[in-house]
């Protein structure tokens, strides 16, 4: 059976549509790759000292929202510690932000017994969680690059191998 005379035109239109769809998808992806900057926030460390997000500028930062009552948070904490220890010397800064409903005494006990090597932050008003888009689910982890852009958001335990690959790229060799 012979193809109709309009058949090549139909194939060209289909190809053009596919090319257009791919181009639009690439443009949409390029627009989505621009991440929002990290919000400005102040925080109180477990030891009572105050700090702000301004101190984090120019660094790669991992911000982990967690709670002592969160089973997944407790289970992922050793991997969070290992990630911090692997990249700290190359410029990674880690903040473990305890949720507002987590009693500070329980957070302090957890941090002490587990010897957490990074900054533990008490978010007793919930202001930091609100600044990051009203975080409610734990764990929720944000990865921030040196320019201050949020380049990763993980709800639940992240794939630590993937996270570490991304951190390695962000911190580079120095």
The CATH number given to whatever domain includes residue 113 is: 3.40.30.10
124 and 90 within one domain: yes
145 and 61 within one domain: yes
- CB count in 10 Å sphere of residue 115: 7
Section 41-46 average pLDDT: 91
User: What distance, in Å, lies between the first and last C-alpha atoms of the chain?
Assistant: 67
147 and 77 within one domain: yes
In this structure, what are the phi and psi dihedrals at residue 84, rounded to the nearest 5 degrees? -60, -50
Instruction: Report percent pLDDT > 70 for the chain.
Output: 79
Please name the residue that has the structure tokens 């309009």. Answer: 6
SS3 39: coil
Cα distances from 72 to residues 56, 63, 65, in angstroms, run 27, 16, 12
Q: Residue 16: CB partners within 8 Å, gap ≥ 6?
A: none
135 and 67 within one domain: yes
Evaluate whether 93 touches 63 at the Cβ level (below 8 Å): no
Residue ranges making up the domain that contains 3: 1-34
Average pLDDT in the chain: 85
- Count of domains observed in the chain: 2
pTM over 0.85: no
* Model confidence pLDDT, tens digit, residues 53-102: 999 989 999 999 999 999 999 999 999 999 999 999 999 999 999 999 99
115 and 98 within one domain: yes
83 and 29 within one domain: no
* Bigger pLDDT: 110 vs 172: 110
pLDDT at residue 26 greater than cutoff 90? no
SS3 106: helix
- CB count in 10 Å sphere of residue 124: 16
User: Which token pair is 111?
Assistant: 């941090």
61 and 146 within one domain: yes
């Amino acid at each position: 059976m012979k193809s109709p005379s309009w058949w090549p035109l139909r194939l060209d239109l289909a190809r053009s549509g596919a090319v257009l769809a791919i181009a639009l998808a690439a443009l949409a992806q390029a627009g989505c790759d621009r991440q929002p900057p990290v919000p400005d926030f102040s925080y109180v460390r477990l030891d009572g000292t105050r700090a702000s997000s301004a101190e984090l500028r120019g660094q790669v930062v991992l911000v982990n929202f967690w709670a002592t009552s969160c089973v997944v948070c407790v289970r992922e904490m050793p991997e969070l510690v290992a990630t911090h220890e692997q990249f700290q010397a190359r410029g990674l800064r880690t903040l473990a932000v305890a949720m507002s409903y987590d009693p500070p005494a329980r957070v302090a006990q957890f941090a002490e017994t587990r010897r957490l090597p990074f900054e533990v932050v008490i978010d007793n008003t919930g202001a930091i969680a609100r600044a990051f888009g009203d975080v409610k689910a734990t764990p929720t982890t944000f990865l921030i690059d040196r320019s201050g852009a949020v380049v990763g958001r993980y709800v639940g335990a992240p794939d630590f191998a993937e996270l570490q690959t991304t951190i390695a790229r962000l911190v580079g060799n120095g």
